Amino acid sequence: MLPYLEVEQGNQDEVEPKTEIETPDITGKTLKEAESILKENGLEIKINNEYEGIDKENIVVSNQLPQAGIKTYSGSCVYIDF
C-alpha cells in the first residue's frame, strides 16, 4: 500500500533483516538456562509473573508462548510462566 501511495519507508540499508527461527523448548529448564537458550537463538525473554529478587537458578519454566516448534523471527519475545 505504501509504494502505491508513494510513501517512503526509510533507508532500506539501515533495516536489519529478520531471520526466521523455530522457538526452542524451554519448559522444564531453569530461568537461567532458558535465558541462555533464548539468547543463543536471538530471542528475548519476558517473565509474566516476575518479582524482585527472583532466584533464576532454582525456578523452573512451566509454560511458554509461543510454544516450542512455532516459527518466529529473531528479536521476538518468548513469554514464560513458572
Q: Evaluate if residue 8 carries a pLDDT over 70.
A: no
What is the pLDDT, as a whole number, of residue 31?
93
Phi, psi angle pair for 30, to nearest 5°:
-70, 160
pLDDT tens, residue by residue, 20-79: 999 999 999 999 999 999 999 999 999 988 888 888 899 999 999 999 999 999 999 999
Q: What is the pLDDT of residue 16?
A: 67
Q: What number is the average pLDDT over the span 1-11?
A: 55
When the candidates are 3.10.20.30, 3.40.50.300, 3.30.10.20, 1.10.940.10, the CATH number that belongs to 19-81 is 3.30.10.20
Closest by CA position to 37, among listed 24, 27, 18: 24
